[in-house]
Structure 1
């Protein structure tokens, strides 16, 4: 072992004494890693858009979408597919997630296969998508993302994916397709895969809103609509789906009239583990959930999810 000289050792000791406490990690600090930053020598894919899209599933709304085409894209070898909600944040070069940059780096390193990205905003109640929204949420978000019906799935599967496929090829294999998002975008992703495991076999869920946001009342005497807090019960009472699910949340996430986000995400994990265990104990054939998670100390933010996104994609699709 190499020993420090007395002079250098004294300087190191002094530095440790005077280092301010503020330099230590604070709860919720999750800086982006190397794979989330533009790297020299990595040929980027092409991010095309935004394109406007009017969906029959939600009349009177308009949304935007972007398509990420990986470097070296070959339509004769259809790439994997990643669909991510809240596309205005997922694609922003100065945002937390920077999904296209992550895809550039992982694909170039051979860590995941070539992947086509589709990034979609929620709908807005207007004829044209407002240019001044930036990374803010459009005004029809919870109605599309937080309700448990099949409308948003139908938008993606019957309308938007066929539209994208007119120009770009991608795989039909659900094991090579992933859908993800943060907050309400995460529950939207889970709903699509839970209802349609034949279409998506992988889910990325960051700070997922598995709470009662959609329990809006139609009137004073009306019963609340089904909402995300029902998912743990649904999962426990139905056979496991062939899904690979990654859950992330933080202990300082929201706690309000809709529910407690951190507890809700832990309930989701427990429900999938129970469903697997119950199926095993009953000797039932069929698939099991593959579920992984990472709990942190962050609040309702994209930061932790963005920091671990490269490793989540490796877990989903990593090549040996």
Structure 2
């Protein structure tokens, strides 16, 4: 049974030692079906992103900054879904969602870091498209190997100090009262709701962390695309405009899907908080969007399709 009510200084202060992830226990008859669906999705994500990494690394024609960042993005997607989906599958299989505070803290730590890393890599990919379309003559000079490596390192490491502090603050607090999380993994908003006493400071901290990891990158991406679209519209031929837009349309679709659902969960006011809706939105950007990414980048990218065909032909011959 799901807990209700808000922790207060006068409430039950029995310190909690574990959480219960409710997950999809409210639909017990569908747990086997959901296990099968999520397992198929997980295998598809691992296979699709692994293929993208192998293809863009092996094909000489794809040794460009755009595909360098796409490799990083695909590797990130594998890590990203592996933080939440295996645990979700295990809970669905055993119909048992207990998780210790330590395990919850570790899962939240890596999840939040990887979420921000995805935001930063998407921002780096937007900058790459901005330089390619708005400054094509300077593209080889600006997007050199050194800058690409530096951007990748920053994307993968920038969020570590921020979330080390955030997780330390949240999990050094006392949790009391209800220990049930109406979620399928340890995400920040539902965990913060279980902190004893007034959670205002923690909620503001969550907003600040979300602004660092999502809002700022989203504004940077928006600025890049304003300039990209402005440049594309000035091109003299319709063919040139279509070709230029096709180079960034896949990235724009992924950005829209990921940021829209993520920002709604982390930045919306507490008064509109709904565990059911938030759980669905979290499922959307933690499982469904990573499933769409290999499809979007493969089906909408002729170079990747050609490289994939060559790769498959090579292996079928062997």
TM-score (norm 1): 0.30
TM-score (norm 2): 0.30
Structure with the bigger percentage of helix? 2
